[in-house]
């Protein structure tokens, strides 16, 4: 019974993930695309929870669905909801045909590789205890084994913040 419930949650979250991903790239109005991406991020957080990644799931909802999407929605509101005009006036252009072929090739390659590896090593998952993926464990690793990655991340965020301020200031002086 427990196993069935896990499968049910997985199917709902996985399907929601794929459907909202396709919705993001097919809406003409960027506002609806951003709303669909919030659904995508939320269902991904459910998948992370099923993979015992509790801290990453919480960070996903806070950082992505919270902070990043609010920024997106502000910029979309700033520009107004201008719908995009299709490229080829209804007919597919060479760019679109090529892009769909490239995306399909990418997907087929990865699925074939996964299919070749399935059944062997991929099917055996390590058994983990209850502390796997908890904030305590991830925080301990960040301050011991992965301290350098933690510090580099903080520098990256600082540089991005300075870059955002400089971009905004220059575009204002150019007016």
Partner 1 sequence: MRGPEITWYLCVAAFLFSTGALGVLLRRSPLIVLLSLEIMLNGANLALIAFARQQGDHDGQIFALAVMAVAASEVVVGLGLIVAMGRRRLELDVDRMTGLRG
Window 125-144: residues binding partner 1 (CB under 8 A):
125-128, 132-133, 137-138, 141-142
Q: Which of 111, 135, 143, 151 binds partner 1 (CB under 8 A)?
A: 111
CA 51 to chain centre: 16
Q: Which of 12, 22, 39, 61 binds partner 1 (CB under 8 A)?
A: 22
Q: Say whether residue 39 binds partner 1 (CB under 8 A).
A: no
Helices (H) and strands (E) in the chain, counts: 7, 0
Q: Say whether residue 51 binds partner 1 (CB under 8 A).
A: yes
Strands (E), 49-138: none
- 40: exposed, middle or buried (C-beta count within 10 Å: 0-12, 13-18, 19+)? buried
Binding mask 69-108 for partner 1 (x = CB under 8 A): --xx--xx-xx--x-x--x-------xx-xxx-xxx-xx-
Q: Which of 12, 77, 88, 122 binds partner 1 (CB under 8 A)?
A: 122
Q: Say whether residue 3 binds partner 1 (CB under 8 A).
A: yes
C-alpha separations of 46 from 33, 57, 60, 67 in Å: 20, 7, 10, 19
Count of residues in contact with partner 1, rule CB under 8 A = 89
135, 143 Cβ separation under 8 angstroms: no
Q: Which is nearer to partner 1, 89 or 127 (CB)?
A: 127
């Amino acid at each position: 019974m427990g196993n069935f419930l896990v499968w049910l949650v997985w199917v709902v979250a996985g399907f929601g993930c794929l459907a909202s991903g396709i919705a993001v790239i097919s809406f003409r109005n960027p506002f609806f695309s951003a709303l669909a991406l919030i659904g995508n991020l939320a269902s991904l957080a459910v998948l992370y929870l099923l993979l015992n990644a509790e801290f990453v799931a919480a960070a996903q909802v806070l950082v992505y669905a919270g902070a990043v999407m609010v920024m997106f929605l502000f910029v979309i509101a700033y520009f107004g909801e201008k719908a995009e005009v299709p490229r080829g006036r209804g007919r597919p252009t060479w760019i679109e045909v090529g892009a769909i072929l490239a995306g399909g090739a990418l997907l087929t390659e990865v699925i074939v590789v996964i299919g070749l590896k399935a059944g062997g090593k991929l099917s055996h998952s390590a058994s983990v205890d209850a502390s796997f993926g908890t904030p305590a464990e991830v925080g301990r690793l960040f301050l011991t084994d992965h301290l350098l990655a933690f510090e580099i991340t903080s520098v990256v965020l600082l540089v991005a913040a300075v870059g955002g301020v400089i971009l905004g200031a220059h575009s204002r002086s150019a007016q």
